[in-house]
């Protein structure tokens, strides 16, 4: 079924990048590597968005993503104990997450062609990349209550949505507002991590 389809050359590395980094965000435990994975994920998202948007607008995605990663990184670095103390899962937890990600991937592969049919003019590579991020982002959100992971999950989910939406709508205002939403989410995520250790004021 898929061997009759052709992808733009850049899309395969981009797909691989978003797939690997979204799995990494699910399984990783060290916050430094997670931030690195998020930053790489935005490179993949940028490559997929660049298929639909002019390069100068698509670059906004990767810059915003890196800034969001930096903000989150600062938030965790200020209070590393909250992250290290509350968010632990062992090998069995990793295996469970990997299996769940496998299930999500199967669902994505089976539904991508159908969804491509609903969205005329949108390439299969865009749908695959988008659904991979949305699926794994949702999975991440469903498996955690920690603000850091919740923020990572939401940023992943939004990246997936942005890839698909970029193929449907080209607007500088939307690009700006979505960048604002991404940065806002990162700031709120960092704030959520920091506030339990802040002193109470009136």
Positions in the binding site for other proteins (CB under 8 A): 118, 141, 145, 147, 150, 153-154, 157-158, 161, 165, 168-169, 171-174, 176-178, 180-181, 184-185, 187-188, 191-192, 195-202
Which C-beta is closer to other proteins: that of 16 or that of 169? 169
Tokens of residue 160, six digits = 């997936």
Smallest gap from Cβ 3 to other proteins, in A, equals 29
Instruction: Quote the least distance from Cβ 141 to other proteins, whole Å.
Output: 6
Q: Give the nearest distance from C-beta 169 to other proteins in angstroms.
A: 6
Quick one: 56 or 202, whose CB is closer to other proteins? 202
Using CA atoms, how far residue 190 sits from 39, 42, 141, 143, in Å, is 16, 19, 16, 19
**CB nearer to other proteins: pick between 92 and 199:** 199
CB of 79 to other proteins, least distance (A): 12
**Rounded distance, CA 18 to CA 133, Å?**
7
CB atoms within 10 A of CB 141: 17
Nearer Cβ to other proteins (36/183): 183
* DSSP assignment string, 75-107: HHHHSHHHHHHH----HHHHHHHHHHHHHHHHH
Q: How many Cβ atoms from other residues are within 10 Å of residue 195's Cβ?
A: 10
């Amino acid at each position: 079924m898929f061997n009759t389809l052709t992808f733009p050359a850049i899309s395969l590395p981009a797909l691989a990048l978003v797939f690997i980094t979204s799995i990494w965000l699910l399984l990783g435990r060290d916050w430094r590597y997670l931030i690195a994975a998020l930053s790489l994920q935005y490179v993949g998202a940028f490559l997929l968005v660049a298929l639909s948007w002019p390069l100068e607008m698509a670059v906004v995605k990767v810059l915003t993503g890196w800034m969001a990663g930096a903000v989150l990184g600062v938030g965790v670095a200020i209070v590393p104990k909250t992250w290290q103390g509350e968010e632990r899962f062992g090998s069995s937890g990793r295996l469970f997450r990997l299996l769940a990600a496998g299930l999500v991937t199967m669902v994505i592969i089976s539904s991508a062609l159908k969804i491509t049919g609903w969205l005329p003019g949108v390439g299969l590579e865009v749908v695959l990349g988008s659904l991979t991020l949305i699926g794994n982002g949702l999975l991440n959100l469903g498996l955690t209550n920690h603000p850091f992971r919740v923020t990572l999950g939401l940023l992943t989910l939004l990246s997936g949505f942005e890839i698909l939406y970029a193929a449907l709508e080209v607007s500088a205002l939307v690009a700006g507002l979505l960048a604002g939403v991404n940065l806002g989410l990162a700031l709120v995520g960092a704030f959520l991590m920091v506030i339990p250790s802040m002193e109470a004021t009136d």
